[in-house]
């Protein structure tokens, strides 16, 4: 079974600064998909960014980028130019096939301070 570990329960960052969230996973699959989801206080699950394991290029979405290290099974999220609206829980998730069930990490709470 796949496992996803987020080792940082909580992170704080000053507005406009950069924060990096860690995620490691364990799988025997060669091809799979990785995701970062944002969950604000509204509880809504919002897809931030996704990465296919077969792609060597790291995914980017505006201020959000990932550092995907397949050999190390590491998938970190960098939030640049942090904004107050980035305050939320962030979950790393794994799927062994497109559209297949997601396995989530325990989450990292991010607090952006003005």
Partner 1 sequence: NAGVTQTPKFRVLKTGQSMTLLCAQDMNHEYMYWYRQDPGMGLRLIHYSVGEGTTAKGEVPDGYNVSRLKKQNFLLGLESAAPSQTSVYFCASSHWTPGNPYGYTFGSGTRLTVV
Query: Residue from 44, 60, 69, 83 that binds partner 1 (CB under 8 A)?
Result: 44
Q: Say how many CA atoms lie within 13 Å of 54 toward its Cβ.
A: 7
Closer of 5 and 18 to partner 1 (Cβ)? 5
Tell me the backbone φ, ψ of residue 11, rounded to 5 degrees.
-135, 145
50 vs 70 by CB, closer to partner 1? 50
Please enumerate in sequence order all residues whose Cβ is within 8 A of that of 40, keeping only pairs 6 or more positions apart, or say none.
46, 85, 87, 88, 89
Name the DSSP letter for residue 13: E
Interacting span for partner 1 (CB under 8 A) from 21-29, 57-65, 79-87, 90-98: 90-98
What Å distances lie between residue 97 and 22, 75, 94, CA to CA? 22, 17, 9
Q: Is residue 47 a contact point for partner 1 (CB under 8 A)?
A: yes
Closer Cβ to partner 1, 3 or 83, answer by number: 3
Judged by the rule CB under 8 A, the positions of this chain that interact with partner 1 are 4, 6, 9, 33, 35, 42-45, 47, 50, 91, 97-107
């Amino acid at each position: 079974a796949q496992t996803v570990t987020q080792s940082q329960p909580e992170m704080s960052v000053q507005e406009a600064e950069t924060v990096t969230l860690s995620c490691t996973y364990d799988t025997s699959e060669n091809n799979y998909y990785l995701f970062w989801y944002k969950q604000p206080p509204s509880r809504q699950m919002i897809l931030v960014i996704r990465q296919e394991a077969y792609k060597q290029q790291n995914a980017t979405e505006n201020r959000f980028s990932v550092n995907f290290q397949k050999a190390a099974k590491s998938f970190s999220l960098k939030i640049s130019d942090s904004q107050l609206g980035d305050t939320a829980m962030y979950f790393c998730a794994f799927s062994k096939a497109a559209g297949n069930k997601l396995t989530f990490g325990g989450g990292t709470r991010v607090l952006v301070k003005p």
